[in-house]
């Protein structure tokens, strides 16, 4: 089913919240709607269709959506033809409830139903307010047109796996994204080749549990990475997010063998106390995680590690929290994300006895201070070295270009914009808290 194509292009504004998978999905939805005659616009003010691609991971993330809808409601009052759609994980979690809580919303579409967008818009055109939150059997990506923009940024995301079977006690993702599904390796390779043909030199494979990837023919993430590494013109590969329990031997080995695989690994541990990890249903221990890190560093000694942490999980004591700090000290992270536990409706931990807010924010402040010190130390350790930097976009100052090191540090340097999309050697001159300053090396 396709909507009739209008002569004057309609305008689409997409706002994306949450994780990189939402970024990728927004690109795919934009491409799908381009085929329906929608041209992307940078502001909601002149949009005929506003799509909010939402995140449900913490309460604040979900609440943002309702304040945005509140602002859009006023725009819509002035422009009656405008439609508002809610996609993403809040859409999946709340479904039809959204329509009653937010009367300005015209339709709701969950992450596994994006290929149904054209049909949904037809129904909106007929005055309905459809809700599509089924988990259909078909693979949505096979029914979503590829992103065909001629010129692309040199680094791209590519979703290879979606969903989660782990059910950590704090997390909504298994409910909003559904069960783990891996896309066939052949389709992924075709999409990667297409990206490379359009100027992409770095691809980050995405999955909620990307290292649990295993397609119908038994291809593992390591095998997939090695297959993609053979694509000529593709210079860098990354993958995120990994779960410690799925860090298979062949994947660790791939880091030793495959030079295109970048030395940066996001490997969330969440907490350093085994008691808390058990209550979180993480199914790994702190010591097990540290042993894993040791094996990874044996394969790739310069691996930059990143992680996610939750403080103030129900039942976490000060002594438990001290074990998180100790684990962070033991690992030495290049970069990390940390959050105060946010109770999510429908998850097992939501009904447990909560840690006081003041305690949570105090622990978060202390953890973040430690992580910031480690990040600064890592950045400083790169000063004086010459690193290959992928030049991704114009920098803030004229004449400046911004790129990424193999370790994912942002690097700013003076360079001819004609070099965008190239990997150049850069000498690191100085380190700031969040980026490096460099100069082209001869
Ligand atoms: N699949 C990934 C990450 C998913 S969500 C993994 O397993 O690690 C990203 C991060 O958000 C999580 O790693 C966790 O640190 C954080 N998070 C998830 N649920 C949360 C909650 N209820 N409160 C606070 N942080 C949460
Ligand atoms: Fe959430 Fe845990 Fe699954 Fe990660 S592994 S998405 S934290 S349930
Ligand atoms: Fe948020 Fe859904 Fe991603 S809850 S973090 S948008 S998987």
* Residue 18 Cβ < 6 Å to ligand 1: no
Q: Tell whether 395 and 362 lie within a shared domain.
A: no
Among the bound ligands, name the one nearest to the CA of residue 94: 3
Residue 354: give the domain boundaries.
140-381
Q: Tell whether 393 and 369 lie within a shared domain.
A: no
List all residues whose CB is within 6 A of at least one atom of ligand 2. Answer: 164, 166-168, 171, 173-174, 208-209, 243
Among the bound ligands, name the one nearest to the CA of residue 176: 3
pLDDT per residue of the chain (442 residues) written in tens, 0 to 9: 455 554 678 999 999 999 999 999 999 999 999 989 999 999 999 999 999 999 999 999 889 999 999 999 999 999 888 999 999 999 999 999 999 999 999 999 999 999 999 999 999 999 999 999 988 766 777 777 776 665 679 999 999 999 999 999 999 999 999 999 999 999 999 999 999 999 999 999 999 999 999 999 999 999 999 999 999 999 999 999 999 999 999 999 999 999 999 999 999 999 999 999 999 999 999 999 999 999 999 999 999 999 999 999 999 999 999 999 999 999 999 999 999 999 999 999 999 999 999 999 999 999 999 999 999 999 999 999 999 999 999 998 889 999 999 999 999 999 999 999 999 999 999 999 899 999 999 7
Give the sign of the dihedral formed by CA 271, CA 277, CA 281, CA 287.
Answer: positive
Q: Tell whether 369 and 341 lie within a shared domain.
A: yes
CATH number reported for the structural domain that contains residue 392 in this entry: 2.40.50
Q: Tell whether 115 and 164 lie within a shared domain.
A: no
Q: Tell whether 119 and 149 lie within a shared domain.
A: no
Q: Tell whether 377 and 423 lie within a shared domain.
A: no
Bridge partners for 266 per DSSP? 306
Q: How many domains are contained in the chain?
A: 3
| 435 CA to centre of ligand 3 in angstroms | 26
Entry field: residues in the chain: 442
Q: Tell whether 367 and 403 lie within a shared domain.
A: no
Query: Whose alpha carbon is nearest atom 5 of ligand 2?
Result: 166
Q: Tell whether 167 and 248 lie within a shared domain.
A: yes
Q: Tell whether 110 and 149 lie within a shared domain.
A: no
Task: Out of 15, 18, 170, 337, give the residue to mutate to test ligand 3, the one with the largest number of ligand atoms within 8 Å of its CB.
Answer: 18
CATH number reported for the structural domain that contains residue 212 in this entry: 3.80.30.20
- Looking at 349, 381, 413, the residue that finishes a domain is 381
Residue 241: asked if its preceding bond is cis (omega within 30°), the reply is yes
- 259 CB contacts (<8 Å, ≥6 apart)? none
Q: Is the separation of the CB atoms in 9 and 38 below 8 Å?
A: yes
- 15 CB contacts (<8 Å, ≥6 apart)? 44, 50, 51, 52, 53, 68
Q: Tell whether 188 and 322 lie within a shared domain.
A: yes
| 16 CA to centre of ligand 3 in angstroms | 11
Query: Whose alpha carbon is nearest atom 13 of ligand 1?
Result: 308
Instruction: For residue 172, give the ligand 2 atom closest to its CA.
Output: 1
| 434 CA to centre of ligand 2 in angstroms | 27
Q: Tell whether 125 and 150 lie within a shared domain.
A: no
Q: Tell whether 226 and 310 lie within a shared domain.
A: yes
Specify the pairing of strand 131-132 against strand 107-109: parallel
- 355 CB contacts (<8 Å, ≥6 apart)? 312, 313, 314, 315, 316, 341
């Amino acid at each position: 089913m396709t909507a009739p194509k209008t002569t004057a292009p309609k305008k689409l504004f997409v706002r994306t919240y949450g994780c990189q998978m939402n970024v990728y999905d927004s690109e795919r939805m934009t491409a799908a709607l381009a085929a329906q005659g929608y041209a992307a616009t940078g502001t909601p003010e002149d949009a005929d269709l506003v799509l909010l691609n939402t995140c449900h991971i913490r309460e604040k993330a979900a609440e943002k959506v309702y304040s945005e809808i509140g602002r859009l409601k006023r725009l819509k009052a002035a422009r009656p033809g405008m439609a508002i759609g809610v996609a993403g994980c809040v859409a999946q979690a709340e479904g039809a409830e959204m329509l009653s809580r937010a009367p300005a919303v015209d339709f709701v579409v969950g992450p596994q139903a994006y290929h149904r967008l054209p049909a949904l818009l037809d129904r909106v055109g007929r005055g309905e307010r459809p809700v599509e939150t089924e988990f259909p059997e078909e693979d949505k990506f096979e029914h979503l047109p590829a992103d065909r923009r001629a010129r692309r940024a040199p680094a791209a995301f590519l979703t290879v796996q979606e969903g989660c079977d782990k059910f950590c006690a704090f997390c909504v993702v298994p409910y909003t994204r559904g069960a783990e599904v891996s896309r066939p390796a052949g389709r992924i390779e075709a999409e990667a080749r297409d990206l490379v043909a359009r100027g992409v030199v770095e691809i980050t494979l995405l999955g909620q549990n990307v290292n649990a990837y295993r397609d119908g023919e038994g291809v593992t993430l390591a095998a997939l990475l090695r297959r993609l590494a053979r694509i000529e013109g593709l210079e860098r590969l990354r993958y995120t997010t990994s779960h410690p329990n799925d860090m298979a031997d062949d994947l660790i080995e791939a880091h030793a063998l495959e030079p295109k695989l970048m030395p940066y690994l996001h490997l969330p541990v969440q907490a350093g106390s085994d008691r808390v990890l058990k209550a979180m249903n993480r199914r790994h221990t702190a010591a097990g995680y540290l042993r894993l890190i040791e094996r990874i560093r044996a394969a790739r000694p310069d691996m930059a590690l990143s992680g996610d942490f939750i403080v103030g999980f129900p039942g976490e004591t000060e002594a438990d929290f001290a074990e998180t700090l100790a684990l962070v000290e033991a690992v030495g992270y290049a970069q990390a994300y940390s959050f105060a536990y946010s109770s999510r409706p429908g998850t097992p931990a939501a009904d447990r006895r909560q840690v006081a807010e003041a305690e949570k924010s105090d622990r978060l402040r202390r953890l973040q201070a430690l992580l910031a010190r480690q990040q600064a130390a890592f950045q400083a350790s790169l000063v004086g070295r010459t690193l290959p930097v992928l030049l991704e976009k114009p920098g803030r100052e004229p004449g400046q270009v911004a790129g990424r090191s193999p370790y994912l540090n942002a690097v700013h340097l003076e360079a001819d914009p004609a070099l965008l999309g190239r990997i150049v050697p850069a000498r690191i001159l100085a380190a700031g808290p969040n980026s490096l300053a460099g100069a082209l090396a001869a």
